């Protein structure tokens, strides 16, 4: 496998796409490119960028999305375009697909549709991993994953992310070949000779009494321990509902809800995105009824330690394979929390994999990744505030 | 048997009662422990709440501090960048998205009010594409009165607080496609004023007064730099105009000088050729006069002789004048090579004094010279320097009354000797001193009316001194005498 990168921060769209893709093509030194990952800041979510990239790359599949920040070896690009080109060996196989117009009603079916599209022509191939990129405004992300897992299998490694937009709460775009789409989920499945190691962590620890989501449905927690869900935050932060309505979204970035998952080592985090008038909490990702939940707390040290642990886990899972490149899906909330220290997290990743190991990634608004399971390979969940490291091996 | 059974039953009852009692005791004990645990759990939960509340306050403080440090840091860097330019457009170009992000914003625009065109013109655009910025610009100009009011009153509008009567916050948010904004006037002392708007779509970080203060500092900085740039441009333009004028004047002067030089050369050529042409007939006139006076053509009556002597004398004067003119013309045109040699200044002055002693004696004028030992040797053309001395001392004799004195002093420094010829004669009027070295200039006084002269002597010696690389000047006061000074190089 050959890998190359290209970056650009030129203001003009076409020139920027030309520069980034051109650099990546040159970087492959004549090896044929089979697949391109394209990440851009919101300003470059433009059809001309895709058209230019496709013109330069020919017929190869292009997948990507926009994000509030692009993670690279050279630091974080808050503005610009990054391209990863892969030239895969003959024994490595992949397939790409995209489902559009996903909404709360059809997310399960859309997931299932994506799964079957990805598996089309892949029946005889040993499957390795699926990577998906989806719109962050798809509220029922859990059902989308469940749909995908219908065909792919519950313990089949599936990781993914939704692009972020600097907390603007606006639509993020996905790139599929020369299409700029939203309300969509695009994916890629790898198989054959393809090795990877994966690690996901968040660094939040539970604090306070265990509570039960006594009444919840999908991503709305109506009651906790028989009382309106908002009371949890009212009690802990000594603020009334009106005050919380203004700042709960922000507070929950610091103190998300943690769902205890029997058999899993880590709590699953959920950000609160809004409050209903009856005191129900709307979370990013579902909270099953009767889940044991707690408020979670973290420090800068615990979050950095989690990033290191995720890297170590990915390295351990990859075994002795030489690492070709590292793909990072890192929650935008972590970037926000680290503030001026945001380079710290990238530094520890670079330290873990070596300064010269190619690195590319995005800041995300919701991640999909398997939790490290005690008893089996690990089921994929929809996460908030996690750092996900995918180390791709040489073979 | 019965009693045995009763005993057994009794003992069983006792055991059961004891067990029950024990169990009840244990249950009570466990209940107490559960209650204690519950209490501890509640206490721990309360502690957890305290921890959360403290933590959120700490986080808030930390966040605000981080924001301030980051804002100040980028403000300092940005100020430095802005200060490096003195071009109006470049000042705004220095503000890029990197600095803006550090200040906590991702969109920015700057407008300056062009009073002549009556429009707010866009000078900075970060975070908007061409279509968006055109649309915003058009909308701003439609609502320009609101923004001009802000500028006029030096008010800041933001998501935190807006002045009364200004556009509603949601309208501003929608206009600039942001969730929080700060609009701050750029109040220059000179030229166009304007405003800067910065905004963010981030809904998680609320704007604070601190943000407003930072943007106000930035706007003040921009206003100051704009003032500097405009002042610089003004000064630069004046300087350019001045330089152009100087250039034009220099060109005119050069052209005039060229003309003067050409005319001077023509004059010198004319004098030279006329003098040559005059000398030939003069020589003949003098020759014939001499033949007639010698009586070679027979004796002449005394009256005729007297007339012939006059012809002869005037011819001599004319020859003298012609020679002076020719010398001036030659020196001016560089045709005379100065034969420089090391000369003894003392010897020259003594020779001159010897030469002129008869005239000095007649008027009882004393000669003095003060030439220090280290100023004795000069580098000059002997015959020409002697002419200079004869001329200056001769003039001094002419204009010094009976019992006067003439001093020749010398002093030297930096390989230059200054020689002063000083008399205590009548002196020269101030207005005449500037023209003294001009050709044919004669001071209008009684002596000059009586004593004939060509007015070429001082002009000639000026040329001689300048041809030696020196200069000559005069200091004089009426009734107190004159001092003619000139410089020569030491040997």
Q: Render pLDDT for B245-256 as a digit per residue (tens, 0 to 9).
A: 999 999 999 999
How many other CB atoms are found less than 10 A from the CB of residue B287?
A: 11
Residue A44 sits at the chain B interface (C-beta within 8 Å): no
Among A347, A282, A241, smallest CA distance to A140 is for: A282
Residues 6+ positions from B487 with CB-CB distance below 8 Å:
B416, B417, B418, B419, B465, B470, B471, B472
How many residues are given for chain B? 491
- Tokens describing residue B109: 């625009």
Residue pair B97/B106 in contact (Cβ under 8 Å)? The answer is yes
Q: What is the ipTM of this complex?
A: 0.78
Question: Among partner residues A166, A236, A336, which is closest to B52 by beta-carbon distance?
Answer: A236
B48 and A207: CB-CB below 8 Å? yes
d(CA B163, CA B365): 98
**Contact yes or no for A208 and B200 at CB 8 A:** no
**Tens digits of residue pLDDT in B272-329:** 777 777 777 778 888 888 888 888 777 878 888 888 888 888 888 788 778 777 777 7
Q: Does the CB of B204 have a partner CB in chain A at under 8 Å?
A: yes
Cα–Cα–Cα angle for A182, A185, A191, rounded to 5 degrees: 150
Q: Are A175 and A65 a contacting pair, CB within 8 Å?
A: yes
pTM exceeding the 0.80 threshold for the entire prediction: no
**Chain B contact for A282, CB < 8 A?**
no
Give the span between the Cα atoms of A347 and B300, in whole angstroms. 128
Contacts of A5 (CB under 8 A, 6+ apart): A23, A24, A27, A72, A73, A82, A83, A84, A85, A358, A360
A340 interfacial to chain B (CB closer than 8 Å): yes
DSSP state of B115: T
3-state secondary structure chain A: CEEEEEEECCCCHHHHHHHHHHHHHHHCCCCCCCEEEEEECHHHCCHHHHHHHHHHHCCCCEEEEECCCEEECCEEECCCEEEEEEECCCCEEEEEEEECCCCCCCHHHHHHHHHHHHHCCCCCCCEEEEEEEECCCCCCHHHHHHHHHHHHCCCCCEEEEEECCCCCCCCCCEEECCEEECCCEEEEEEEECCCEEEEEECCCEEEEEEEECCEEECCEEEEECCEECHHHHHHHHCCCHHHHHHHHHHHHHHCCEEEECCCECCCEEECEEEECCCCCEEECCCCCCCCEEEEEECCHHHHHHHHHHHHHHHHHHHCCCCEEEEEEEEEHHHHHHHHHHCHHHHHHHHHHHCCCCCEEEEEEEEEEEECCECCCCCCEEEECCCEEEEEEECC
Quick one: tokens of B103? 């200040």
Tell me what pLDDT residue A375 has: 45
Contact B56 A209 (CB under 8 A): no
**How large a percentage of chain B has pLDDT more than 70?**
98
**Residue B348 confidence (pLDDT) above 50:** yes
- Cβ–Cβ < 8 Å for A270, A256: yes
DSSP B480: T
Number of Cβ atoms within 10 Å of the Cβ of B274? 14
**Amino acid B12: pLDDT:** 87
User: Does the pLDDT at position B106 exceed 80?
Assistant: yes
A295 touches B: beta carbon within 8 Å: yes
Whether the CB of B66 is below 8 Å from some CB of chain A: the reply is: yes
Contact across the interface for B48 and A251, Cβ inside 8 Å = no
Residues of chain B above pLDDT 90, percent: 29
B63, B127, B201: best mutation site toward chain A, by most A Cβ within 10 Å? B201
Residue A330 burial (10 A CB sphere; 0-12, 13-18, 19+):
buried
Q: CA A160 → CA A64, A361, A381, B295, B389, distances in Å?
A: 11, 11, 10, 140, 109
Q: How far apart are CA A4 and CA A27, in angstroms?
A: 5
Q: Does the pLDDT value for residue B349 go beyond 60?
A: yes
Q: Is A66 left (phi over 0), alpha (psi -120 to 50) or beta?
A: beta
Residue ranges for chain A with pLDDT beneath 50: 373-376
Contact B202 A170 (CB under 8 A): no
pLDDT digit string (tens) for A282-295?
998 889 999 999 99
For residue A187, what are the contacts with CB-CB under 8 A and spacing of at least 6? A63, A96, A97, A98, A114, A118, A130, A131, A132, A133, A148, A160
Closest-approach residue (CA) in chain B for A238 = B53
From residue A331, alpha-carbon distances to A150, A193, A264, B194, B287 in Å are 26, 30, 21, 39, 123
Nearest Cα of chain A lies from the Cα of B206 at a distance, in angstroms, of: 9
User: What does DSSP say about strands A292-297 and A323-331: parallel, antiparallel, or unpaired?
Assistant: unpaired
Predicted pLDDT of residue A394: 79
Interface mutation vs chain A, best among B48, B51, B205, most A CBs within 10 Å? B48
Tell me the chain A residues in contact with residue B70 when contact means C-beta distances shorter than 8 Å.
339-340
Residue A238 with chain B: CB contacts under 8 Å:
49, 53
Least Cα separation, residue A94 to chain B (angstroms): 37
CA distance A173 to A50: 12
Look up residue B413 and give its DSSP letter: E
Cα A205 to Cα A303: distance, rounded to the nearest angstrom:
10
Size of the A and B interface in Cβ pairs below 8 Å: 76
The gap between the terminal CA atoms of chain B, to the nearest Å, is: 167
Residue A374 confidence (pLDDT): 46
Q: Which two tokens mark B481?
A: 């005498």
Q: Does B48 contact A295 at a Cβ distance shorter than 8 Å?
A: yes
3-class secondary structure, B76: helix
Q: Which residues of A touch B181 (CB under 8 A)?
A: none
Rg (CA), chain A: 20
């Amino acid at each position: 496998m050959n890998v190359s990168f290209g970056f650009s921060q030129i203001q003009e769209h076409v020139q920027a796409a030309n520069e980034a893709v051109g650099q990546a093509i040159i970087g492959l030194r004549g090896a044929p490119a089979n697949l391109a990952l394209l990440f851009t800041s919101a300003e470059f979510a433009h059809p001309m960028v895709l058209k230019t990239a496709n013109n330069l790359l020919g017929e190869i599949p292009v997948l990507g999305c926009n994000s509030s920040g692009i993670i690279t070896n050279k630091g974080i690009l808050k503005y610009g375009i990054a391209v990863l080109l892969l030239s895969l060996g003959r024994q490595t196989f992949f397939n790409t697909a995209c489902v559009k117009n996903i909404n709360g009603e059809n997310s399960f079916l859309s997931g299932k549709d994506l799964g079957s599209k990805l598996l089309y022509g892949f029946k005889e191939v040993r499957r390795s991993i699926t990577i998906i990129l989806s719109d962050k405004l798809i509220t029922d992300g859990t059902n989308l994953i469940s749909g995908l897992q219908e065909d792919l299998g519950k313990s089949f490694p599936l990781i993914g992310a939704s692009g972020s937009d600097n907390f603007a709460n606006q639509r993020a775009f996905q790139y599929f070949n020369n299409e700029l789409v939203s309300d969509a989920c695009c994916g890629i499945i790898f198989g054959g000779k393809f090795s990877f190691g994966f690690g996901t962590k968040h660094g939040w620890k539970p604090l306070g009494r265990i509570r039960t989501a006594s009444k919840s449905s999908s991503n709305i927690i109506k009651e906790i321990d028989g009382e309106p869900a908002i009371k949890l935050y009212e009690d802990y932060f000594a603020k009334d509902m009106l005050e919380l309505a203004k700042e709960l979204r922000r507070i929950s970035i610091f103190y998300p809800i943690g769902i205890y998952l029997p058999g899993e080592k880590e709590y699953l985090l959920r950000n609160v995105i809004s409050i209903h008038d009856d005191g129900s909490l709307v979370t990013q990702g579902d909270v099953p009824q009767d889940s044991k939940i707690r408020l979670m707390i973290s420090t800068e040290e615990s979050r950095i330690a989690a990033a290191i642990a995720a890297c170590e886990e990915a390295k351990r899972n990859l075994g002795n394979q030489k690492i070709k490149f590292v793909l990072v899906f890192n929650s935008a909330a972590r970037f926000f929390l680290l503030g001026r220290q945001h380079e710290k997290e990238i530094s520890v990743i670079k330290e873990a994999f070596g300064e010269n190991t190619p690195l590319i990634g995005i800041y995300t608004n919701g991640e999909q990744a398997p939790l490290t399971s005690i008893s089996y390979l690990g089921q994929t969940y929809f996460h908030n505030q996690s750092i996900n490291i995918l180390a791709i091996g040489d073979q | 048997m019965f009693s045995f059974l009763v005993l057994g039953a009794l003992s069983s009852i006792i055991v059961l009662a004891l067990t029950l009692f024990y169990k009840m005791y244990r249950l009570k004990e466990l209940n107490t422990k559960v209650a204690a645990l519950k209490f501890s759990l509640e206490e721990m939960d309360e502690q957890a709440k305290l921890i959360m509340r403290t933590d959120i306050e700490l986080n808030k403080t930390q966040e605000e501090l981080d924001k301030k440090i980051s804002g100040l840091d980028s403000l300092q860097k940005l100020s430095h960048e802005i200060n490096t330019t003195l071009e109006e457009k470049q000042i705004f170009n220095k503000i890029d998205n990197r600095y803006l992000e550090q200040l906590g914003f991702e969109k920015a625009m700057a407008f300056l009010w062009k009073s002549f065109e009556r429009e707010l013109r866009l000078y900075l655009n970060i975070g908007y594409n061409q279509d968006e910025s055109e649309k915003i610009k058009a909308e701003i100009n439609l609502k320009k009165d609101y923004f001009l009011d802000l500028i006029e009153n030096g008010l800041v509008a933001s998501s935190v607080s807006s002045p009364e009567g200004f556009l509603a916050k949601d309208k501003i948010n929608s206009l600039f496609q942001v969730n929080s904004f700060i609009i701050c006037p750029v109040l220059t002392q000179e030229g166009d004023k304007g405003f800067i708007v910065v905004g963010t779509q981030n809904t998680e970080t609320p704007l604070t007064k601190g943000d407003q203060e930072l943007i106000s500092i930035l706007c003040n900085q921009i206003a100051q730099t704009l003032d500097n740039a405009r002042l610089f441009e003004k000064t630069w333009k004046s300087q350019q105009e001045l330089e152009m004028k100087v250039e034009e004047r220099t060109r005119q002067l050069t052209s005039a000088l060229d003309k003067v030089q050409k005319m001077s050369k023509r004059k010198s050529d004319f004098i030279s050729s006329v003098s040559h042409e005059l000398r030939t007939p003069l020589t003949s006139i003098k020759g014939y006069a001499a033949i007639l006076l010698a009586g070679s053509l027979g004796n002449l009556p005394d009256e005729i002789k007297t007339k012939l002597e006059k012809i002869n004398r005037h011819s001599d004067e004319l020859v003298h004048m012609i020679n002076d003119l020719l010398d001036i013309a030659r020196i001016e045109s560089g045709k005379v090579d100065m034969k420089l040699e090391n000369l003894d200044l003392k010897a020259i002055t003594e020779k001159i004094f010897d030469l002129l002693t008869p005239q000095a004696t007649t008027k009882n004028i004393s000669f003095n010279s003060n030439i220090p030992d280290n100023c004795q040797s000069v580098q000059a053309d002997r015959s020409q320097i002697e002419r200079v001395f004869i001329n200056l001392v001769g003039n001094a004799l002419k204009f010094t009354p009976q019992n006067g004195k003439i001093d020749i002093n010398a002093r030297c420094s930096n390989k230059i000797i200054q020689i002063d010829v000083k008399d205590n004669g009548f002196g020269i009027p101030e207005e005449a001193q500037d023209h003294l070295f001009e050709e044919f200039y004669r001071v209008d006084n009684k002596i000059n009316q009586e004593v004939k002269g060509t007015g070429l002597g001082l002009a000639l010696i000026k040329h001689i001194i300048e041809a030696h690389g020196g200069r000559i000047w005069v200091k004089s006061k009426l009734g107190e005498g004159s001092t003619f000074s000139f410089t020569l190089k030491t040997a």
